[in-house]
Amino acid sequence: MEEKLQPIVQSLRELESDQQLPKSLKQKIGTAIRTLEQNNELSMRVSRALNELEELTDDQNMQAYTRTQLFNIISMLEAVTSS
């Protein structure tokens, strides 16, 4: 896995371990983590992970703090694609 993805995956793992997070959200975050850890082309992995995470931002079960963390992670991923 690329060095620039490591802090993003770490942030996603921290978010995934949040006890307050509903199971369905944890599963989608886990999917995004596995996507980023694959050996495909970087832009493809980032794009797929972004799609997964952006779907989560509309979830009504998510707390505002968690949504903010998710937006920060999405911003980090977008920075990877623009560099």
Taken in order of first residue, the domains within the chain and their CATH numbers are 3-82 (1.20.1440.50)
What average pLDDT does the segment 54-71 reach? 90
In the predicted model, is pLDDT for residue 1 greater than 80? no
Cα distances (angstroms) measured from residue 11 to each of 14, 70: 5, 9
What's this model's pTM, rounded to 2 decimal places?
0.91
**For 64-73, what is each residue's pLDDT tens digit?**
999 999 999 9
**For 25-42, what is each residue's pLDDT tens digit?**
999 999 999 999 999 999
First-to-final CA distance of the chain: 16
The Cα 14–Cα 78 span in angstroms is: 19
pLDDT the model gives residue 61: 78
Residue among 28, 19, 23 at smallest CA distance from 70: 28
What average pLDDT does the segment 12-25 reach? 93
